[in-house]
Amino acid sequence: MEKQTRNKAALRDSVVAVIGVILIAANTRSAVSGLSPIYDIINHDVPLGIDARAVLGSLAPIGFVIGGLLTPRLTRRIGLEWNLVSLVAFIAIGHTVRALATDWTVLALGSAIALIGSGMGNVSLPPTIKKYFPQHIGQMSAAYITFVSLGSVVPPLIAVPLSESMSWQFTMAIWAMFAAITLIPWFVEIRSGRNSGDPLGSVGGPKLALAKSPTAWAIAVAFAVSSIAGYGMFAWLPDIAKDVVGMTEIEGGLMLSTFSIAGTPMALAMPLIAARIRNVGWLTALGGMLIFAGFGAMLVAPTVAPYLWVVLFGVGPLLFPLSLVLINLRTESTSASLQLSAFTQFFAYSVAATVPPLMGISRAITGSWDIALAGLALSGLAAGWSAVILSRNNTVETELVAN
pLDDT of amino acid 195: 56
- Burial class from Cβ neighbours inside 10 Å (0-12, 13-18, 19+) for residue 365 reads exposed
Q: How confident is the model at residue 197 (pLDDT cuts 50, 70, 90)?
A: very low
Whether the CB-CB separation of 209 and 400 falls below 8 Å is answered with yes
Q: How confident is the model at residue 13 (pLDDT cuts 50, 70, 90)?
A: low
Sign of CA dihedral 96, 253, 65, 179: positive
List domains and CATH numbers for the chain: 2-191 (1.20.1250.20), 210-402 (1.20.1250.20)
The Cα 173–Cα 168 span in angstroms is 9
pTM of the model: 0.80
The predicted-structure confidence for 314-343, as pLDDT tens digits, reads as follows 888 788 888 988 988 888 888 888 889 889
- Count CB neighbours of 102 within 10 A: 9
- Burial class from Cβ neighbours inside 10 Å (0-12, 13-18, 19+) for residue 62 reads middle
In Å, what is the CA distance from 28 to each residue of 120, 197, 396? 9, 29, 27
Does position 115 have pLDDT exceeding 90, yes or no?
Answer: yes
The Cα 337–Cα 111 span in angstroms is 28
Average pLDDT over residues 207-230: 91
The Cα 66–Cα 9 span in angstroms is 37
Whether the CB-CB separation of 55 and 108 falls below 8 Å is answered with yes
Whether the CB-CB separation of 340 and 330 falls below 8 Å is answered with yes
The predicted-structure confidence for 146-188, as pLDDT tens digits, reads as follows 888 777 777 777 777 888 888 888 989 999 999 999 999 989 8
Chain centroid to Cα 271, Å, comes to 15
The least confident of 261-265, 287-291, 319-323, 391-395 is 261-265
Q: Which comes out higher in pLDDT, residue 44 or 13?
A: 44
pLDDT of amino acid 249: 65
Q: How confident is the model at residue 308 (pLDDT cuts 50, 70, 90)?
A: very high
Q: What percent of the chain is modeled with pLDDT above 90?
A: 29
Mean pLDDT over the full length of the chain: 84
Q: What is the 3-state secondary structure (H, E, C) of 132-195?
A: HCCCCHHHHHHHHHHHHHHHHHHHHHHHHHHHHHCCHHHHHHHHHHHHHHHHHHHHHHHHCCCC
Q: How confident is the model at residue 207 (pLDDT cuts 50, 70, 90)?
A: confident
Q: How confident is the model at residue 85 (pLDDT cuts 50, 70, 90)?
A: very high
List for the chain the helix, strand, coil content (%; round to 5).
80, 0, 20
Whether the CB-CB separation of 32 and 98 falls below 8 Å is answered with no
Q: Which comes out higher in pLDDT, residue 48 or 94?
A: 94
- Count CB neighbours of 260 within 10 A: 20
The Cα 112–Cα 95 span in angstroms is 10
